[in-house]
Structure 1
Amino acid sequence: MANKYEMMVILSPVLGDEGITSTTEAIKAKIESGATIDSMESIGMKRMAYEIEDQKDGFYLLFNFTSDADFPKEIERVLKITEGVLRFLVIRIEE
């Protein structure tokens, strides 16, 4: 059975504009390989509450997608090894 999920990703500003764009497209492609993207919002550069990997700012992305229950573990595995991803969080949306 398909569930709805929300995922926030914070990218490092060190990537630069091209790196952020290519990383965003790679994440989007990975999600599309195993899920249906309901919406994607590029929130942009924001100041973080505390430094992560010596960075005070981060580029925020918000994805809403529908997938089977085991897909979030796969996307988390990929994000852990993706260069430039500072933090991410995937939560299931209760309907």
Structure 2
Amino acid sequence: MYILKPDLGEEQTQADIDRFNEVITAQNATITKVDKWGRRKLAYEINKLTEGFYMLVTFEGAGDIANEITRVLKIHDDVVRSIVVRLDE
């Protein structure tokens, strides 16, 4: 899951989503589900922002993929917060 800045335009938001999906697929992972939750109010203020654009991406992959995705999300300026969790079957 990641949260993008709410003040991005529709084109920039979609470009960021596409970029992060490409990072996932470049790591030999399969995206099983992409949920655009849309613009929602944050639980608390982050960097003077009270809203964010929520994205939930479910994928399957092996190896060190979670570390690479976390690294990419942390260095991108449009990402407010992100978390990668492993789901048990």
Question: TM class by shorter-chain length?
Answer: over 0.9
User: Normalising to structure 1: TM-score of the pair?
Assistant: 0.88
Taking only aligned residues, the RMSD between alpha carbons, in angstroms, comes to 0.9
More strand by share: 1
Q: Which residue of 2 aligns with 1:4?
A: none
1:1-95 alignment runs, 5 A limit: 8-34=1-27, 35-95=29-89
Cα drift, residue 62 of structure 1:
0.4
Deviations 1:21-69 (A, max 9, x none): 1111101111111111011111100001111111100000000000113
Higher relative contact order (CA 8 A, sep 6+): 1
Unaligned runs of 5+ in 1: 1-7
- 1:93 is paired with a residue whose SS is coil
Unaligned runs of 5+ in 2: none
Cα drift, residue 14 of structure 1:
2.3
For 1:61 and 1:75, the matched residues in 2 are separated by 14
- 1:92 is paired with a residue whose SS is coil
Percent of aligned pairs with the same amino acid = 39
For 2:48 and 2:14, the matched residues in 1 are separated by 21
